[in-house]
A and B are shown apart, each in its own frame.
Chain A
Amino acid sequence: MNQPAVKLEHVTKQIGRKTIIKDLTFDIYSGEVFGFLGPNGAGKTTTIRMIVGLMKISQGNIFIHGKSIKTEFKQAIKHIGAIVENPEMYKYLSGYNNLVHYARMINGVSKERIDEVVKLVGLSDRIHDKVKRYSLGMRQRLGLAQALLHSPDVLILDEPTNGLDPAGIREMRQHIRKLAQEEGIAVIVSSHLLSEMELMCDRIGIIQKGKLIGVQTVNEFIHSDTNQQVQFYVDKPKKSSQVIIDSLSLSNVIQGDTYIELSIIKEQIPLVCEALIKADIKLYNIKTLEKTLEEKFLEVTGGVSVG
């Protein structure tokens, strides 16, 4: 029952003499949104191409609900709905005919199902227009519709918010969360933008230069820090910082108008309080500053910009 929906085992991709993907191993489970995060050129699209069988896997294997995409392609791929990079459609056909086209390629997609999916992505009004007259946002929705046609168990979206306006991004996020929570679909979303991942993912895997740097839950990701920024609101900030420097031999004390800010581990918080109270300083409030994913990400990747 607890078989992963998608399982990557030591996946490596070489093109020519270049190793683009190095030994990726991770599992994705039904009902979760897995964020695949990394700067441009990190290898997200290449990994996705291997998961859906567009590119051969040089070493290792990928299983979809236990079926190898290498050796049981049809059995594995029927579970997957995907958009790889931009959702390119036949521009001279209507959105509807594009969906009919993909519906014909898999058993059991009825006309009612097509209408249902069109409604779900909110394209009912324009579905009979030619795709060349669609905006980028509408194309993304049509892309989502074709991916959902056959009610897949695994949904893979490569940078799905590319080119969407803020409202479109919010809507896409809601779709994704709903699909995972209500329909138990395993969703893989790639992005180079952290701010998005934080809001829609359960777990995040960070990839850089073809290597997986780490997989963590979004919560862990933000909290796992050994050192946290903690602000202590006190009546005498100047005296406080002196006390702390003397008694706890901490450097890097930031002194504000009404507070001091320290970079410490959780266990040091009571020690700081004790020292302040002993020195007869009034302590009003303690505030832990949570790092954003962005800051955390910069730390993990060694300060490489993520665009």
Chain B
Amino acid sequence: MANFFNLIQNENMKIYRKSATKIMFIILFALILTAGLIIKFGTHEKAISDNWKQELIAQNKQDQKVMAKMSGNAKNYYQERIAKNDYRIEHDLKPTTGKNIWNFTDDATNNLMTVIILFTIIVVSTSISSEFSWGTIKLLLIRPVSRTSVLLSKYISALIYAVVMILFMFVVSWLIGGILFGFGGLSAANLQYVDGHVFETNWVVYELKQYGLLSITLVMMVTLAAMIASIFRNSALAIGISIFLTMGGSIIVEILSRFDWVKYILFVNMDLHQYINGTPFQKGMTMGFSLSVLAVYFIIFVILGWLFFTKRDVAA
């Protein structure tokens, strides 16, 4: 009856008018600023000298020596560094330090994605369960709108919130990076190493790809949180369990790593970096395998969350 866009508008109103949400934006801003100030004033990285080409050549020699004593995957790191250094010397691209607008943006945003995941877990959990704890669900569900649409609007508006937060984080990091380290650093090259080749890539596109990969974790954890919230109708429980799993997932995996079936655990499959520029968690795991496992988890979360939200009596 009423269109779905209206429901999204409602959920957005409820998310952004809450003071907790405003505080989340402030916290994220404060974290970026603090990181910027620490890097600016608290770290002493040697400045790049005009003599940088000689220095890179010296470093390459050193790396070759170290690499000769190694075998297998351990070599990769040095191979990549040598290739990138060669590329810089060849194309006359002066190296950058962490005190560069792009390097700062890259560091800050990749590290703060976890914070955004936590915030989005909180947003989706409260969006669903607070309706029950406040009793507003009784007025929400007596409209000519299906329960499925109500739940979907909550889920989608939480994902929209995550996108807004990511864009906010990117823009703020870039601005703070520029203000603290100078916008002159914008021309810094972004060198990528894939299959033995070095190439330059656009920073913005590169960052968006990074966020895209991290968003797989985000979507999985937010879906898990939404499911828990609609099963238990209790935000504290939903937030608690989801945050515990987000933070403790890797520890659980560590403990269980000697078992073969650990590869079917959610947390092992969420990091797709392992197939792009890393080594897979277990031999024989492929990108396709992980995507399939993730799809199965996703479908289970969605079905369970949906069943509990739409089929159960509202007794709040």
Which residues from A are CB-within-8-Å of B14? 90, 93, 101
B1-42 with Cβ < 8 A to chain A: 1-2, 6-7, 9-10, 13-14, 17-19
Is the C-beta of B146 less than 8 angstroms from some C-beta in chain A? yes
Q: Contact check, A53 vs B13: say whether CB atoms are below 8 A apart.
A: no
Interface size on B, residues (CB 8 A): 26
The distance in angstroms between the C-alpha atoms of A73 and B310, with both chains bound, is: 13
Judged by a CB distance under 8 angstroms, whether A106 is at the interface is: yes
Complex contacts, B313 vs chain A, CB 8 Å: 15, 49, 54-56
A47 to chain B, nearest CB (A): 13
Instruction: Given A78-B1, A106-B144, verify A146-B139 contact (CB < 8 Å).
Output: yes
Q: Is B143 interfacial (CB 8 A cutoff)?
A: yes
How many Å lie between the Cα of A14 and that of B9 in the bound state?
Answer: 37
Query: Any chain B CB within 8 A of the CB of A104?
Result: yes
Residues in chain A near residue B244, CB distance under 8 A? none
Contact with B19, one of A82, A90, A92, A105 (Cβ below 8 angstroms): A92
Please report the C-alpha to C-alpha distance between residue A49 and residue B17 in the assembled complex, in whole angstroms.
Answer: 30
Question: Would you give the shortest CB distance from A243 to chain B, in whole angstroms?
Answer: 62
Question: Contact at A85–B143, with CB atoms within 8 Å?
Answer: no
> Do B314 and A54 have beta carbons less than 8 Å apart?
yes
Complex Cα gap A85–B316 (Å): 10
When chains A and B are docked, how far (Å) is the Cα of A87 from the Cα of B135?
8
Given the complex, which residues of A lie within 8 Å of B17, measured CB to CB?
92-93, 97
Interface bracket on A: 20 to 34
**A90-B14, A92-B19, A93-B17 known; A85+B314 contact, CB < 8 A:** no
The answer to whether A105 and B138 have CB atoms under 8 Å apart is no
- Whether the Cβ atoms of A105 and B315 lie closer than 8 Å is no
Q: Are B144 and A78 in contact (CB under 8 A)?
A: yes
Count chain A CB atoms within 10 A of each CB in B14, B138, B314, B315 and give the residue with the most: B138
- Name A's interface SS: loop
The answer to whether A55 and B144 touch (CB under 8 A), given A104-B10, A105-B2, is: no
B314 touches which of A55, A87, A100, A106 (Cβ 8 Å): A55
A102's partner among B138, B143, B315 (CB-CB below 8 A) is: B143
Give B183 Cβ to nearest chain A Cβ, in Å: 39
Min C-beta distance of B259 to chain A, whole Å: 40
0 or 1 for each of A33-77: is its CB under 8 Å from B? (1 = yes):
000000000000000010011111000000000000000011101
What is the bound-complex CA distance between A78 and B7, given in angstroms? 16
Residues of A within 8 A of B145 (CB): 74, 105
CB within 8 Å of A: which B88-143 residues: 134-136, 138-143
B13 and A101 contact, CB distance less than 8 A = yes
What separation, in Å, do the CA atoms of A78 and B19 have in the docked complex? Answer: 33
The answer to whether A93 and B13 touch across the interface, beta carbons within 8 angstroms, is yes
Complex: chain B residue closest to A91, CB-CB: B134
Contact (Cβ within 8 A) B135 A86: yes
Q: Provide the residues of chain A in CB contact with B134, threshold 8 Å.
A: 88, 90-91
Chain B contacts of A104 at CB under 8 A?
Answer: 2, 6-7, 9-10
Residue in B closest to A94 when the chains form the complex, CB atoms: B17
CB distance from B21 to the nearest CB of A (A): 10
Contacts of A74 in B (CB 8 A): 1, 144-146
Q: Report how far A56 CA is from B10 CA in the complex, Å.
A: 26
Q: A54-B313, A84-B138 are in contact. Are A77 and B143 (CB under 8 A)?
A: yes
Q: Using Cβ atoms and an 8 Å threshold, which residues of chain A touch B7?
A: 104-105
- The answer on a CB contact under 8 Å between B315 and A97 is no
A176 within 8 A of B: no
A107 at interface by CB-CB < 8 Å = yes
Are A85's CB and B138's CB within 8 A?
A: yes
Contact of A106 among B2, B9, B18, B138 (CB under 8 A): B2
Closest to A87 in B: B139
What's the Cα separation between A77 and B138 when bound, in Å? 13
Is there contact, CB below 8 Å, between A101 and B10? yes
Q: Which of B9, B18, B140, B141 has the most CB of A within 10 A?
A: B141
Interfacial chain B residues near A55, Cβ < 8 Å: 313-315
A-B residue pairs in contact (CB < 8 Å), sample of 25: A15-B313, A49-B138, A49-B314, A52-B142, A53-B141, A55-B313, A56-B313, A74-B145, A74-B146, A77-B143, A77-B144, A78-B1, A82-B142, A85-B138, A88-B134, A89-B136, A90-B136, A93-B17, A101-B10, A101-B13, A104-B9, A105-B7, A105-B143, A106-B2, A146-B139
Residues of A within 8 A of B (CB): 15, 49, 52-56, 73-75, 77-78, 80, 82-93, 97, 100-102, 104-107, 146
Question: What are the 7 tightest A-B residue pairs by CB atom distance, in nearest-first order?
Answer: A88-B135, A105-B143, A104-B6, A54-B314, A74-B144, A78-B144, A55-B313
For the complex with contacts A52-B142, A74-B144, A105-B144, 13 further pairs of A-B residues with Cβ separation under 8 Å are: A49-B138, A49-B313, A54-B141, A77-B144, A78-B144, A83-B139, A85-B135, A89-B139, A93-B13, A97-B13, A97-B17, A102-B143, A105-B10
